[in-house]
Structure 1
């Protein structure tokens, strides 16, 4: 099966396939996929993710966890002598096989040519830094030529690094990919925590859409503000949170020594970040599980306290729930959806975190987010808690009668409430949950 290529929609807000169909980017983070899994293991992983509704898998060719010198599952390293112009054919045949396998399952690969420590390793990471402008271009051209006939690739430069000071290297790599492909690719940049590709590359012609990393240090990191800040930039480009809190990830393990009582992110925290990012204008969302990104199992040393092996973690609750967000958005007019925070009366943005002791903030935890059709046919409001009351201005919706339903983000089920006269309406989310989506339709 040959998948249609992905491009930016005409209005610049969303991604579409080449036939004009909406493409809701529902990604999973599998950074070590090419490096640590056999083809048989990759088949299991991709089968499960396809069945769960994911359509993008983010993975790295020159991987983070000593990806240059520790061989892959087949015993091969990616480069000869750490030279980007001397790729190891046997390593890349394994990469080829996984990309082809993903395509058969209807999955696009969000491919990072390298993790960022291979460009500059002075911040953290094993490295070594092996790229300059010249070999970054040649490596990018090699990748473009090798994968010229693959439609199921979305290119992601960066790899958990700020772009500052290295813009020329990343731009050279992007140029090489484009020239190798013989066409302009769809491409973004994966930054470090709390940053966006827009900080360095928003005005670069090669950057198709922006990517944030809201990160793993804060509960309720304000990714709604992050997404909206790029949504409001010109020229208009789609935006996504490409690395939010991972399910099962220790809360704040980097800024201070983690203790079990600090807890781990659950499916609830994962859902909150997903719905609030998308309702703020994101063109999709990336899920992640702490054991899956590193493909942790009995063969490998754990990184930052994973709790289960990857082949158990792929069935985690949050992974099974992400499809409901995708299906919800695709069930309504897609290309006219806009952020609609002005519908929420009396709701003001909570303060941004100021230091590491501000991990928990009730105003951030309870912050609801709204989105609607700019033509007025529907609105969606994300309630973060059960028994949460919101006053909602429905004047932007068409007609005089509003039909209301509750949507359960854990199951995808809808529960009809009734019809209401248009105006300021008050709704209180059901018990249980804890989170709910209110659907308003005309």
Structure 2
């Protein structure tokens, strides 16, 4: 494509693909922490449940038309945050985007290439058109701390500050941006402390946005930002990464509970659980007998992190995050193209999770696994998580394995109780019953056994809540 044609064709494509693009008003405000310090809301006062999708290589590997396809698909499935990287992990500095543009001249953070950023500009505004936030990573972590990957390391305190300020100025008026520093790296590694660099980048973003920016950090697998960054004034939200390298059923609910209960709390969530169709434990060499993570693995980790107090969760598919296609070499045994991967079952099922959570009051949820007085398991694969609303008028239970349990319902003061059984595989309420509320209530889901996971919703009938999937 002729270089002069690119901006003109891009503008025409925007106008044709999104008819009301120029008329749409972003009505949500910026993201902020809720008053109780544990959850999220927008500056217009609406509770916000983060349902993210991992699109790391979005700006680097897709054309404009493909980005339109991707954003529309994710919006229809219920995602409201897209996590994507400006300086991408895989040859992000040396391999041009689909329009022959590199992000930086001479790999210099102080010499950004405007042509490369045109596609990012347009993507952010297209996302706003369909009411989606973009969690924007200024760089992948290998450009600060190589450790593995291709790098090269290009950041120091000075240029990180100036690069952050340049980005912040460019997007200061885009309220649908969430800033996500890091990129699969520890802020401190052995004797190396990289926090001054990240701190400088955050300061640049803050100054450029008049300190309106919402900033979080993407941490390495098996870790939480709370260990390294909890006291940093620029960090608005902690994240954990239960990841792909520690087998099935990593006890992420324990990590979320730990972070939730820290002094001077901040919201916390799993920003990278196991990806659907990702090889299990592929490093340093994958044993094919371990297989791939399935939609069942995705459901178990997503529900249990959220039910333990997470302010949201991010889904990922192994073909989608890298936007694998016949044009690209697969990374770590990718079997699914990004277009096929978008319709894998887990992508629909995390949308059901959002619907369930948003069907009841979101803020002030209280993690309370002790309400399960019989049937709880200490096996990670079977551990049940449960929470109740702050006014004790509803509760939700996630069972990774269908079994009969007994639940202490004394927190609910009504004489009767409404019980809903929600199948998280298909997103349907398969049964709703009303019964006399006993102090200890025996509950049996419609099907039993491994792979038969269930969400049980308990309501005080006086609250007149709608069915959980409506």
Question: What TM-score, normalized to structure 1?
Answer: 0.94
CA contact (8 A) 2:181 2:215 kept: yes
Cα deviation for residue 13 of structure 1 reads 1.2
Aligned partner (choices 268, 289, 297) of residue 296 of structure 2: 268
Q: Which runs of 5+ in 1 are unaligned?
A: 351-362
Aligned partner (choices 169, 174, 177) of residue 145 of structure 1: 169
CA contact (8 A) 2:387 2:396 kept: yes
State the partner residue of 2:8: none
Cα deviation for residue 260 of structure 1 reads 2.7
User: For residues 207-242 of structure 1, what are the alpha-carbon distances to aligned partners after superposition, in whole Å with 9 as ceiling and x for unaligned?
Assistant: 101111110022011110111111011211110100
Cα deviation for residue 287 of structure 1 reads 0.4
| Residue 118 of structure 2 corresponds to residue 103 of structure 1 | no
| Residue 359 of structure 2 corresponds to residue 331 of structure 1 | yes
Aligned partner (choices 381, 392, 398) of residue 365 of structure 1: 381
Select between 341-350 and 233-242 the one with higher mean Cα deviation: 341-350
State the partner residue of 2:236: 208
CA contact (8 A) 1:344 1:392 kept: yes
CA contact (8 A) 1:3 1:103 kept: no
Cα deviation for residue 262 of structure 1 reads 1.2
User: For residues 109-151 of structure 1, what are the alpha-carbon distances to aligned partners after superposition, in whole Å with 9 as ceiling and x for unaligned?
Assistant: 0000000000010x21100000000000000000000001101
Cα deviation for residue 259 of structure 1 reads 2.9
State the partner residue of 1:353: none
State the partner residue of 1:159: 183
CA contact (8 A) 2:278 2:317 kept: yes
- Counterpart-to-counterpart distance in 1, 2:372 and 2:326: 49
Aligned partner (choices 390, 393, 396) of residue 377 of structure 1: 393
- Counterpart-to-counterpart distance in 2, 1:440 and 1:180: 47
Aligned partner (choices 328, 332, 343) of residue 315 of structure 1: 343
- Counterpart-to-counterpart distance in 1, 2:170 and 2:375: 51
Cα deviation for residue 347 of structure 1 reads 6.5
- Counterpart-to-counterpart distance in 1, 2:184 and 2:444: 40
Cα deviation for residue 348 of structure 1 reads 6.6
* Aligned-partner SS, 1:406: strand
- Counterpart-to-counterpart distance in 1, 2:274 and 2:27: 30
State the partner residue of 1:83: 108
Cα deviation for residue 389 of structure 1 reads 2.0
Matches within 5 A, 1:163-174: 163-164=187-188, 165-174=193-202
Q: Which runs of 5+ in 2 are unaligned?
A: 1-23, 461-470
CA contact (8 A) 2:376 2:405 kept: no
Cα deviation for residue 429 of structure 1 reads 2.3
Cα deviation for residue 375 of structure 1 reads 1.4
User: For residues 397-428 of structure 1, what are the alpha-carbon distances to aligned partners after superposition, in whole Å with 9 as ceiling and x for unaligned?
Assistant: 22222211101112222211331323111222
State the partner residue of 1:437: 455
| Residue 64 of structure 2 corresponds to residue 39 of structure 1 | yes
- Counterpart-to-counterpart distance in 1, 2:312 and 2:377: 22
Superposed CA RMSD in Å reads 1.3
Structure 1 segments of 4+ aligned residues over 2 angstroms from their partners: 346-350
Aligned partner (choices 390, 398, 404) of residue 419 of structure 2: 404
Cα deviation for residue 333 of structure 1 reads 1.5
* Aligned-partner SS, 1:81: helix
CA contact (8 A) 1:33 1:42 kept: yes
Cα deviation for residue 181 of structure 1 reads 1.3
- Cα distance 1:334–1:177, how it changes in 2: closer, same or farther (>3 A)? same
Aligned residue pairs total 427
- Counterpart-to-counterpart distance in 2, 1:347 and 1:212: 28
User: For residues 172-209 of structure 1, what are the alpha-carbon distances to aligned partners after superposition, in whole Å with 9 as ceiling and x for unaligned?
Assistant: 00000011112231110111001111111111111101
Question: What TM-score, normalized to structure 2?
Answer: 0.89
User: For residues 291-332 of structure 1, what are the alpha-carbon distances to aligned partners after superposition, in whole Å with 9 as ceiling and x for unaligned?
Assistant: 011010001111000111101101111101111111111111
State the partner residue of 2:372: 344
